[in-house]
Structure 1
């Protein structure tokens, strides 16, 4: 199992379960920083390595007029400030090759969104930066197909690879998580991340927006840790009802600590099998 280094955080193998968490999108700098501080305080108390995430642009919204975020330049400036303030690595999505250079100057992890995981030019450009690349498995892909994505990154000379599961779609505004996908992708030799909140999303389930089933996040997260994942990806918010993107599937911050305590206990049991 390849260990991937993100700043001072080592992910994979027998390293501690890592947490990637934050709001879905940068709604405003102060709120994003506040959420990051609260999550970091929880992670520090529990001894969990923490990586802040938030999108500077949500390019795949259901409707044209949905809120997308502050955009590349302003958003990266906010993420740079949060990185310096909280002293944690930061992650955000990239959507096209022109974003790769500016994003790599700030971000510690470049994330390839699930819908773009087969975009060869984007994957190769991200890999060529040498940064850690977190690729979300497309909702339309079998887990074994992610081996081809791994090969594209390797061909750019980069072994800093994370693979993320976020559910599979069969249409009809729903996602299904096949827990077999986690050990299948992990068998490629790189750490696997489970996206617990997007996996309960109901894409387009509210017509012009997506809906979600927050009540199932804990169940899927516990199952994924039992399957031996290396990191958890969870979007959190102080008041998801006010969130401008993905509110129905984001966790309330106060739900985070009790869930993480459960996950650490499960990870301690299964760690000897990893």
Structure 2
């Protein structure tokens, strides 16, 4: 049985209806972030879905050294705190080093471990000791059953607030593939599993100095993952993805989100 995880007023897992983690890839500025969060709240209220708002204050693994990374931890956490206060929505962002854990935990409801860092024991332990919910992105290089060791590191710190997120596995050069077997394999560990649909259609480094993406496949993979029984979906969204400063090619247009969520809710209702 998959346990239920509480993120503020939001509950995920435990047989509950599909949850949503969504927001822009990176915090571009305060106004755009608040605007996106408000729009997401309106959309989720309209379709009857719970929301955890996500946005990265620092994208530390950009393809190029000149790529936009975000406003940094201090300013980014200030903006996320404002989103949380203004809208009453739980917030999530990535942490990249032990030094970021304490200040991030003061603001964030969910500490996210990036895929490339999912085996970093010291980071996992430091995050787990805060008692916050920990969302671990499965590394593109890991088999789903290997996540039991990641779960073990967090549980060793007496933290059972764990979410596991599938974001595709490396498949040749500049490509990812999603193995639908990973969802039941990871859910068998007893914790909610989320499908990161937008990063799963990313083409890492595929645009030379940035990553490409195939946004047109987000709906197909999302529908398949929800049919496979995931507890939530993770979507990067933007009001104008063509102008996004990060991950535009794989981000969902906000205008397209309501219809996608309605379809996913319908599939989830059948599965659950």
Instruction: Bin the TM-score by the shorter chain.
Output: over 0.9
CA-based RMSD: 0.6
CA–CA distance in 1 between the matches of 2:190 and 2:127?
20
CA–CA distance in 2 between the matches of 1:157 and 1:83?
27
Give the match for residue 94 of structure 1.
95
CA–CA distance in 2 between the matches of 1:16 and 1:29?
31
CA–CA distance in 2 between the matches of 1:170 and 1:249?
17
Shift of 1:268: 0.6
Give the match for residue 160 of structure 1.
161
Q: Write the mapping of 1:189-200 to structure 2, written as runs, cut at 5 A.
A: 189-200=190-201
Question: Does residue 140 of structure 1 match 2:141?
Answer: yes
CA–CA distance in 2 between the matches of 1:72 and 1:34?
20
Determine if contact 2:27/2:33 at 8 Å carries over to the other structure: yes
CA–CA distance in 2 between the matches of 1:105 and 1:240?
31
Shift of 1:171: 3.4
Deviations 1:4-26 (A, max 9, x none): 11001111022121100000000
CA–CA distance in 2 between the matches of 1:179 and 1:85?
37
Using the size of structure 2 for normalisation, the TM-score is: 0.99
Give the match for residue 110 of structure 1.
111
Deviating more after overlay: 10-19 vs 71-80 = 10-19
Return 5+ residue gaps in structure 2 as ranges: none
CA–CA distance in 2 between the matches of 1:125 and 1:220?
33
Give the match for residue 129 of structure 1.
130
SS at match of 2:219: helix
CA–CA distance in 2 between the matches of 1:229 and 1:45?
22
CA–CA distance in 1 between the matches of 2:250 and 2:171?
19
SS at match of 2:256: helix
CA–CA distance in 2 between the matches of 1:92 and 1:22?
10
Give the match for residue 266 of structure 1.
267
Determine if contact 2:4/2:14 at 8 Å carries over to the other structure: yes
SS at match of 2:107: coil
Return 5+ residue gaps in structure 1 as ranges: none
Deviations 1:53-78 (A, max 9, x none): 00000000001110000000000000
SS at match of 2:230: coil
Q: Write the mapping of 1:172-191 to structure 2, written as runs, cut at 5 A.
A: 172-191=173-192
Question: Does residue 257 of structure 1 match 2:230?
Answer: no
Shift of 1:170: 2.9
CA–CA distance in 2 between the matches of 1:158 and 1:44?
31
CA–CA distance in 2 between the matches of 1:269 and 1:3?
20
Shift of 1:124: 0.7
Give the match for residue 41 of structure 1.
42
Shift of 1:2: 1.3
SS at match of 1:105: helix
Give the match for residue 76 of structure 1.
77
Question: Does residue 246 of structure 1 match 2:244?
Answer: no
Aligned length: 271
Query: Which runs of 4 or more aligned residues in structure 1 lie more than 4 Å from their structure 2 counterparts after TM superposition?
Result: none
Give the match for residue 228 of structure 1.
229
CA–CA distance in 1 between the matches of 2:23 and 2:150?
26
Shift of 1:236: 0.3
